[in-house]
Amino acid sequence: MSKTETVYLTSSARTGKMMIIMLGICIVGGAIFFGMWDYWISQPPPVVAQMAGVQDHGAPAVATGETITQDLNFVESADGFSDLAFNALTGEPGHNPTINAKVGDKIVFNVENAGKGFHAF
């Protein structure tokens, strides 16, 4: 018993036409996109605006201009990878301190790597 199968073929001329059409679409789309670049970057995406919402937080924050210095010592567990933290391991006092600042404050971080591995901050 033989099974017949339809094989669809195309010519190189038709393939060339398809490639020209696709290239034209890419060029026109790129021209529109980059031609309107100032428009695309002028506003945050709508979802960001929706997530931010409009909330009244009372009086506007006053810039104090204070300088806040925070010492951060990077520490790691004895095995070197199961617990990574600042100032103390998880569950110990002083673990990953919270830094509170106001608009206009300057925060200076003094970071020391007390661990064995290299770490980016």
Task: Spell out the long-range contacts of 19-28 with Cβ–Cβ below 8 A and sequence spacing 24 or more.
Answer: none
pTM of the model: 0.43
Is 86 buried (19+), middle (13-18) or exposed (0-12) by CB count in 10 A?
A: buried
* Residue 76 scores a pLDDT above 90: no
**Dist CA 32 CA 90 (whole Å):** 52
Task: Supply the mean pLDDT for the chain.
Answer: 81
33 versus 44: the higher-pLDDT residue is 33
Residue 121 — pLDDT band, cuts 50, 70, 90? low
Q: Which DSSP letter does residue 63 get? A: P
Q: How confident is the model at residue 60 (pLDDT cuts 50, 70, 90)?
A: low
Cα(37)–Cα(81) distance, integer angstroms: 44
Query: What is the rounded average pLDDT of the residues 79-104?
Result: 84
Q: pLDDT by residue (tens digit) across 5-40? A: 888 788 899 999 999 999 999 999 999 988 888 777
> What is the Cα–Cα distance from 94 to 88, expressed in whole angstroms?
6
